[in-house]
Structure 1
Amino acid sequence: MQSLLERGRAYLTPGAASSQKANGAGDDGFFSTAKAETALFPKTDAAVDGDECLHDCETCTITYPRKFDVDESDKLYGHVSGWDTHLIVGTGKTDWVRDVAHEKGSVMEALEKHSLLQYERAEGRGRAKLRLSASNLPTGSDHSDVDMDDGSNCFLLPSWLLIEHVQPAEVVDLVAEVVAPSVTNKTLVRPTTTSVNDAATPSSASSLSPPPSSSPSPQTPPAHLPAPNTRFLTRTRPIPHSALILMCSHRTRDARCGQSAPLLRAEFERHLRPLGLYRDLHDERPGGVGIYFINHVGGHKYSANVIIYRKRGREYNEAVQGIWLARVRPADCENIVRYTILQGKLVKPESQLRGGFDRERGLLSW
């Protein structure tokens, strides 16, 4: 059985398809729809990956309430609407009004008001769909040492950007100056330059930990930062984490999500901490895995819904993969950490994968 060390190293090595796809130029035309779950993300193989569980069942003490019922019969894969970019807006809350666009005075309300969930991409690249999520990501005031209006801290994916102190009045400029020029889920990804020493770091979770000199120099800002003449330049920086776990906690829409999200977070923490990968809401150490609650994503009858964004190692500065899982239970968290977060593999693709993308291989589920 491969050790966790060896499996973690696999996360550093681009797949075989990268040499064929990484040098492509442009968007969309290079992408195709993966017709089956395992065509998009590989399924684990016991002969290669080892046992699916490393613990006795007695150690899994976190379970859902007895009446936590979900649909187990519907086919999940291929039935979610695609999106191009994902804006996650910090509200500091774990539950919201039924429609987050009705949160008074919020960035979400402003985006809806200005009809910005469909937008024109920069440089004539056509229209794109913005997926909008409210989140428990701390608000701007929670991260600020200066006296200013709160605003909202936002994540932009797949660009892997954190935009700080966004005000509702700024959303038109935010979309025009930051979102529209950014990469999308249909932009082929190219690895950034890494040294041989970085790629060979002998650590079980080395792929999710930054190299010693990982901080960008002031002379070389990270890719996809807004143009220097925009108001957002000094408020934009890379998301500090190497992977993100997003879970629906929208109790107002469905009580099951309010029940499942905190239980899953506790179980993910239990498996991430021994690897040195757990990051709480205020932990901005580079690397590791950030866990955030978001609002309604659709398909509550398939709770719990979990969306994972992976950078896939140090050679990438952007999200390479987005993986949308459903029917996730606490007992699944160990394997999601061991296989999905560290390696991009799935243990139960036929029953849990709703959709996603792989920008390195040029594949989408939609």
Structure 2
Amino acid sequence: MSFFKNILGSKDHTKEIAEILPIAECKAECLASECHTKFPNSAEVKGADATADLWMSTKPYALHCLVSTGKTDWQHDATDTPLSLENHLSQWASNNSRVAGGTIKVSCSSLPNHDHENLTGDVLILPYFVWVKGCPNGQIGDVMSELVPKLKLAEKGKISLPKELGGVEIAVDPSHAYVFLCSHRTRDKRCGITAPLMKKEMDIDLRDRDLLRDFGDDRPGGVTVAFINHVGGHKFAANLLIYLRSGENVWFARCRPTNCKAIISETILGGGKVWPEYLRLAQRFSPVKW
């Protein structure tokens, strides 16, 4: 019997969720024999309350800024390194929620950092699918203060995206979707073990569909699966955040390799279809056609 069929006491939020995103009609799990990977016993979610209500167990946010670090694990507080791009960005975000129209989430990602001296860096801004490229660390706050209002205007069709701000390149990301998995082993061993296995399973299926985009492959319409630092709710590992170019933002939890095929087919390629029993958060943003 499915692990999730054993969940008792969880409230049914299907009606509420259906007002945001469509509900998938097919099963969320394939047979274990159809998977290439599986979680070892040591990586099973232990100590988690299987009856905990996942829905809205994390707060909505307006903007997600992901700093490219090329790493899969970070110090306990990933954005606390003084003078780093992520530290400057985090400080800016904590004081500028009004500019974005809501909370600004800042994460470190495994997306590659091309400056080995870490004096400049790249930031992916979601749900806008926009890059800030090669920004000097101390300049990121000024760039974001100028860029975010322009993104809000572009969302309303009132302005086009600038190609540079203050000498820093601004570029559109051509991807169909991004998938982020928490791999922050320093914060929780479960994430460090489960995230690579989830990525392997997703990569295999995406490669079979010719949709997998490894770093440096910028063909349009693809899907990139990457790692990020702590996002909260380690007891719900594996946590999986999805951004679709069409505006959907989905946050699944308690995911396993047996869920990957269905997530790709129904959520990523099926217009954001979801399963309420796996869902922590669902948001629909206005898509921007760059």
Alignment partner for residue 91 of structure 1, among 69, 82, 86?
69
2:41 is matched with 66
1:87 maps to a residue whose letter is C
Residues 1:159 and 2:93 are matched in the alignment: no
2:83 maps to a residue whose letter is G
Cα distance 1:324–1:189, how it changes in 2: closer, same or farther (>3 A)?
farther
1:341 is matched with 268
Alignment partners' CA distance in 1, 2:259 and 2:41? 17
Alignment partner for residue 111 of structure 2, among 126, 137, 143?
137
Which ranges of structure 1 fall in alignment gaps of 5 or more residues?
Answer: 1-33, 143-147, 191-222, 313-319, 362-366
Alignment partner for residue 331 of structure 1, among 254, 258, 263?
258
TM-score by length of 1: 0.67
**Matched residues, number:** 270
Secondary structure at 2:224 match in 1: strand
| Larger of the two Rg values belongs to structure | 1
Alignment partner for residue 118 of structure 1, among 69, 82, 95?
95
Alignment partners' CA distance in 2, 1:45 and 1:35? 14
Alignment partners' CA distance in 2, 1:331 and 1:189? 39
Moved more, 160-169 or 96-105: 96-105
| Displacement after TM superposition at 1:79 (Å) | 2.7
1:248 is matched with 182
Alignment partners' CA distance in 2, 1:171 and 1:225? 17
TM-score by length of 2: 0.83
- In angstroms, what is the RMSD of aligned CA positions? 2.8
Alignment partners' CA distance in 2, 1:151 and 1:168? 5
Which ranges of structure 2 fall in alignment gaps of 5 or more residues?
Answer: 1-13
1:274 is matched with 208
Alignment partners' CA distance in 2, 1:87 and 1:345? 21
User: Which whole-Å deviations, capped at 9, do the CAs of 1:1-56 have from their partners, x for residues lacking one?
Assistant: xxxxxxxxxxxxxxxxxxxxxxxxxxxxxxxxx9723332222224xxxx766x75
CA contact (8 A) 1:304 1:328 kept: yes
1:304 maps to a residue whose letter is A
CA contact (8 A) 1:189 1:359 kept: no
Alignment partners' CA distance in 2, 1:100 and 1:35? 37
CA contact (8 A) 2:131 2:171 kept: yes
Secondary structure at 2:103 match in 1: strand
| Displacement after TM superposition at 1:224 (Å) | 4.9
Cα distance 1:135–1:167, how it changes in 2: closer, same or farther (>3 A)?
same
| Displacement after TM superposition at 1:167 (Å) | 1.9
2:20 is matched with 40
User: Which whole-Å deviations, capped at 9, do the CAs of 1:77-125 have from their partners, x for residues lacking one?
Assistant: 123112111110001111001111222431121234x443231656xxx
Cα distance 1:286–1:35, how it changes in 2: closer, same or farther (>3 A)?
same
Alignment partners' CA distance in 2, 1:139 and 1:307? 21
2:230 maps to a residue whose letter is H
1:358 maps to a residue whose letter is R
1:225 is matched with 161
Residues 1:286 and 2:224 are matched in the alignment: no
CA contact (8 A) 2:250 2:272 kept: no
| Displacement after TM superposition at 1:229 (Å) | 5.9
Secondary structure at 1:40 match in 2: coil
Alignment partners' CA distance in 2, 1:118 and 1:336? 35
| Displacement after TM superposition at 1:339 (Å) | 0.3
2:124 maps to a residue whose letter is F
Secondary structure at 2:102 match in 1: strand
